[in-house]
Amino acid sequence: MNENKTNINWYPGHMAKAKRLISENLNLIDIVYEVIDARMPYSSKIVDINNYIKDKPRLIIMTKMDLCDKNETIKWMKYYEEKGYKVIGVDLMNNQSVTNIVKITNEIMSEKNQIREDKGLLKRRTRVLIVGIPNAGKSTLINRLVGKKATTVGNKPGVTKCLSWIRINESLELLDTPGILWPKFENEKVAFNLASLTAIKEDILPIEEVVIYILRTLYKYYPNILKERYNVSELDPDMIEVFDTIGKKRGCIIRGGEVDYDKVCSIVINDVKEGLIKNITFDRVEDYE
């Protein structure tokens, strides 16, 4: 598979509109929360984000730390810190992560608040723009910050369609945005990572190719997971034997004893989507340096 260039395009109109609205509202914003999936810290970072958030202070929030390969993700955190970003990894299943985000936000705002205080102005509510690709965990993060269900959460891309203000407390409010993707995917590896980890709709790429990519990536980086979950220890060139093995192990048998390959694909995709395959990170720092 060529991992250099591809002509894959998927850019719904609401994403282009969201970028325009962000630019129009940027003067209201103090800080940007950029939400990234810790399982793909490069592929899930919006490539052209600097074009429309300009020089606003930014906090990169790596979500899904409960699902990623922490050793690899820590390398990515260091990678972004060396580029001057503030970075935090969060497991949105616990409240300590939210406390740490608020703490860092206050640290970022301390200088600006001090300037206001020196001028005799009252401290005002911090306004945060929250951006990220579809299904990166933005809605879950917002709900954790609010402490109640404030947004619709789904495990499919494209839940949020417009910009909306959400008050967290007396000192913090968020401007939520729709999930935003790259205008086009010039790197095929990025496109397949996004499809594998449910950031783009499943029909953008052939599902069989996505599943083969997932299985090959697991074989390359996590052969133990492939063996334990699917009883697969080797890959055959056309992957037929692999699909047969998975189908027999998971009961994907149709009339005549044949394996239902469509069902095998659905099982593998859902195993990733539902977080049943854990401790995986598909991006590697050395591939992008």
- CATH number for the domain spanning 241: value is 1.10.1580.10
How does residue 45 score in pLDDT terms, banded at 50, 70 and 90?
Answer: very high
Number of domains in the chain: 2
Domain that holds residue 76: 13-176
Q: Where a domain ends, among 136, 158, 176?
A: 176
Task: Say if 150 falls within a structural domain.
Answer: yes
> Is the domain of 226 the same as that of 132?
no
CATH number at residue 22: 3.40.50.300
Q: Where a domain ends, among 156, 176, 196?
A: 176
For residue 2, pLDDT over 80 is answered with no
Distance between CA atoms of 134 and 157, rounded to whole angstroms? 5
> Is the domain of 149 the same as that of 210?
no
Task: Read off the DSSP letter of residue 4.
Answer: S
Q: 162: buried, middle or exposed (CB in 10 Å: 19+, 13-18, 0-12)?
A: exposed
Task: Say if 210 falls within a structural domain.
Answer: yes
For residue 58, pLDDT over 70 is answered with yes
Q: 70: buried, middle or exposed (CB in 10 Å: 19+, 13-18, 0-12)?
A: middle
Task: Say if 194 falls within a structural domain.
Answer: no
> Is the domain of 149 the same as that of 32?
yes
Task: Say if 170 falls within a structural domain.
Answer: yes
For residue 12, pLDDT over 80 is answered with no
List 175's β-bridge partners, or say none.
129, 165
> Is the domain of 62 the same as that of 143?
yes
Rounded to an integer, the average pLDDT of 42-65 is 90
Q: Measured at the alpha carbon of residue 17, what is the angle toward residues 11 and 18, in degrees to the nearest 5?
A: 90
Task: Say if 200 falls within a structural domain.
Answer: no
> Is the domain of 239 the same as that of 279?
yes
> Is the domain of 18 the same as that of 142?
yes
230 versus 114: the higher-pLDDT residue is 230
C-alpha dist (Å) from residue 196 to 20, 75, 106, 158: 29, 21, 36, 16
Task: Say if 65 falls within a structural domain.
Answer: yes
Complete DSSP assignment for 167-212: EEETTEEEEE------SSB-SHHHHHHHHHTTSS-TTSS-HHHHHH
Rounded to an integer, the average pLDDT of 119-127 is 81
> Is the domain of 259 the same as that of 118?
no
> Is the domain of 167 the same as that of 282?
no
> Is the domain of 34 the same as that of 152?
yes
